[in-house]
Structure 1
Amino acid sequence: MDGRRGSVLVLTNLSDVTTDIVLRVLAARRVPVVRLDPGTDLHTGASLSATYGTGVQRGVLRTPSRDLDLARVRSVWVRRPSPYEGPPGLEERDRRFAAEQDLWGVGGVLASLPGAYYVNRPWNNRAAEHKPAQLAAAQRFGFPVPDTLITNVADRAREFVARQSNGTVYKPVWNTPYRVAGRPHSVWVREVREREITDAVAVCPHLFQARVDKAFDVRVTAVGHRVSGVRIDSPDLDWRRRQDLMRCEPVAVPDAVRTSVHSYLTHFRLVYGAFDFAVTQDGAWYFLECNPNGQWAWQPPGITDAVAHALADQLEKGSDT
């Protein structure tokens, strides 16, 4: 049994190379780490048991290399675990049932370990992923927010688009996996014109937003009280589309933005958040969104290293923070 106080449990998929950067920092500090992809590992040799009773909560996670006392987990980093899809080889209905039991059973146990510190708790991530909630919180904490309409009424959408003097963009309210002719397809942020809007809007909610006349984009990465900013210059409206064409460099984050970022994280009970802003020529930082589990290792080496060490600090300190 690995009884050393301070074990860090990292939940992520096997190919997540971003995690490796932080794990190297923790290894150099001799912090014990257990890496698990619960959606797949619990069907390929790992096991989990948890016991609950009056005044008692304990459990054991067994992997091929060790046993981990769940009551002694110092911190949990919820990075990029695979979806719960159930064990292969079952009929579709049985596999779907097993996948749901995995999500609510295994996922529930790992999300509520006694005394563990989370970066971030899964349900806090989920609450913070809703774009309407993001926009409402951004307004509350002082960020400028582009005029935005979420609707499934085509006439309302056309009226909104017609009123925007600088144009309108469309973005999905959630990045749902999408396939065209059997191949994965990304739905990027793009400009939309009034004549393009059809009655098909009624199928589901659509998000339309006033286009910001931006000079550049900024990604602000926040870990606890540490905040770093990267200026992004791209020929595309959505810089994620062709990242090989974008240029990045560190940028100072204004004090007012820092204050709003910390208030936003506190509101959603997040330790980590990746904020996207559109910055205008006159220096206004318009809030676009915050991904509570956004990627960060693509940034300039100095910032990538700083984020890795900030995350390692949080995980190492655990519940004492």
Structure 2
Amino acid sequence: MVVTNLDDPTADLVIDELHDRGVPVVRFDSGDFPTTLSFAAHITPHGIQGSLTTPSRTADLTRVRSMYYRRPSGFAFPPLDEQDARFAITQARYGLGGVMASLPGCLYVNHPHRIGDAEFKPSGLAAAVSSGFHVPATLITSDPSEARSFISYYQSVIYKPLATPLYRLDGVSSTVAVRTVTADEIDDSVSGTAHLFQRCIDKTADVRVTVMGEQIFAVRIDSGLLDWRTDYEKLTYSVVELPPGATDSIRAYLKHFGLVFGAFDFAIDKVGQWWFLECNPSGQWAWLEPETGLPMTSAMANLLERKTT
């Protein structure tokens, strides 16, 4: 099973690879329920049994060997009024969502509940510390005085959002950029919600490390940008080796959250030290394959096929 939204080129690549191998695939977006997606699941002494049906496929829930859970859209019931829609969405989440999270013998890449756990930045940073990574000094606060003190102490500090929900300006999808912040920019509006401030690493490059089961792909990204995601045209790529101890820390981090896939971001400082920034349990990776020649699509297909040789 591949669970994602309609516009997902990364999933397209993996599905094409699996089709070429003769591996049967059922793709759907959970947000299509109940318009074009239906299911029936029985709770039995042998676990959940039943089927899920899309316009072109029917999946026997007992025969799903793997689930690639990517980026499905949310449940929506537009014909209903607000209160009834809220009830229906809750039933769908705990009904269909609960069934998808409980398939017997299924390998999840990644399990939706584990994705949810790992998406909390404070949890990820704490797990990174306990896994042995170097983590920049970080403050999460709603207290303006704490924020000013932190920035004054470390001098070079960045602000980054704790999450990135859909945000539109004049109808255009936008996001809050990672940027440096000074103490005199902090005012009482900080008390309105939670914010993340982090010591800025004086970096020479970034690294994206993508883990797919036992396979680890490390790509150095040179850009000269504070946040390389802001201008892909300026990026250059090179395959690199992990520093000593990094593999053990990566495995410890993934084990902590019960993940088999992770897209790790690191910053390399001027003395060559790698600093953990974050790990996205549903991160992108497909654009790196044509830039580096790394066999990433094949590795993901191998993982989903549960192919060990």
Number of aligned positions between the proteins: 309
Letter of the structure 1 residue corresponding to residue 231 of structure 2:
R
Question: Which residue in the other structure is 2:21 paired with?
Answer: 29
Structure 1 distance, partners of 2:212, 2:223, is 25
- The match for 2:210 among 210, 221, 224 is 221
Report the Cα offset of residue 96 of structure 1.
2.5
Structure 1 distance, partners of 2:230, 2:127, is 27
Whether the 8 Å contact between 1:277 and 1:285 is mirrored in structure 2 is yes
Whether the 8 Å contact between 2:50 and 2:62 is mirrored in structure 1 is yes
Letter of the structure 1 residue corresponding to residue 240 of structure 2:
V
Structure 2 distance, partners of 1:114, 1:55, is 8
Whether the 8 Å contact between 1:249 and 1:300 is mirrored in structure 2 is no
Whether the 8 Å contact between 1:277 and 1:286 is mirrored in structure 2 is yes
Whether the 8 Å contact between 1:250 and 1:300 is mirrored in structure 2 is no
Whether the 8 Å contact between 1:39 and 1:102 is mirrored in structure 2 is no
- Structure 1 pair 198/133, CA: closer, same or farther in 2 (3 Å)? same
- Consecutive unaligned residues of structure 2, counting only runs of 5 or more, are none
Kindly provide the CA deviation profile for residues 15-57 of structure 1, in whole angstroms up to 9, marking residues without a partner as x: 11111111121112111111111111x2333210111144453
- Secondary structure of the corresponding residue to residue 220 of structure 1: strand
Q: Percent identity?
A: 47
Query: Are residues 1:117 and 2:127 paired?
Result: no
Structure 1 distance, partners of 2:80, 2:263, is 38
Whether the 8 Å contact between 2:289 and 2:295 is mirrored in structure 1 is no
Question: Which residue in the other structure is 1:147 paired with?
Answer: 137
- Secondary structure of the corresponding residue to residue 124 of structure 2: helix
Whether the 8 Å contact between 1:143 and 1:286 is mirrored in structure 2 is yes
Report the Cα offset of residue 239 of structure 1.
0.8
- Structure 1 pair 303/27, CA: closer, same or farther in 2 (3 Å)? farther
Structure 1 distance, partners of 2:55, 2:81, is 27
- The match for 2:81 among 67, 72, 91 is 91
- The match for 1:78 among 45, 69, 76 is 69
Query: Are residues 1:58 and 2:49 paired?
Result: yes
Question: Which residue in the other structure is 1:12 paired with?
Answer: 4
Report the Cα offset of residue 64 of structure 1.
2.2
Whether the 8 Å contact between 1:10 and 1:77 is mirrored in structure 2 is yes
Question: Which residue in the other structure is 1:129 paired with?
Answer: 119
- Consecutive unaligned residues of structure 1, counting only runs of 5 or more, are 1-8
Question: Which residue in the other structure is 1:252 paired with?
Answer: 241
Report the Cα offset of residue 116 of structure 1.
0.9
Question: Which residue in the other structure is 1:4 paired with?
Answer: none
- Secondary structure of the corresponding residue to residue 5 of structure 2: coil
Whether the 8 Å contact between 1:12 and 1:82 is mirrored in structure 2 is yes
- The match for 1:192 among 176, 181, 204 is 181
- The match for 1:266 among 255, 266, 287 is 255
Structure 2 distance, partners of 1:60, 1:300, is 35
Q: Name the stretch that deviates more: 240-249 or 197-206.
A: 240-249
- The match for 2:164 among 142, 151, 175 is 175
Question: Which residue in the other structure is 1:38 paired with?
Answer: 30
Q: Which aligned segments of 4 or more residues in structure 1 are displaced greater than 6 angstroms?
A: none
Whether the 8 Å contact between 2:62 and 2:103 is mirrored in structure 1 is yes
Whether the 8 Å contact between 2:237 and 2:291 is mirrored in structure 1 is no
Structure 2 distance, partners of 1:56, 1:19, is 28
- Secondary structure of the corresponding residue to residue 217 of structure 2: strand
- RMSD over aligned CA atoms reads 1.8
- Secondary structure of the corresponding residue to residue 255 of structure 1: coil
Structure 1 distance, partners of 2:47, 2:112, is 23
Question: Which residue in the other structure is 1:6 paired with?
Answer: none
Whether the 8 Å contact between 1:297 and 1:304 is mirrored in structure 2 is no
Report the Cα offset of residue 182 of structure 1.
3.8
Question: Which residue in the other structure is 2:92 paired with?
Answer: 102
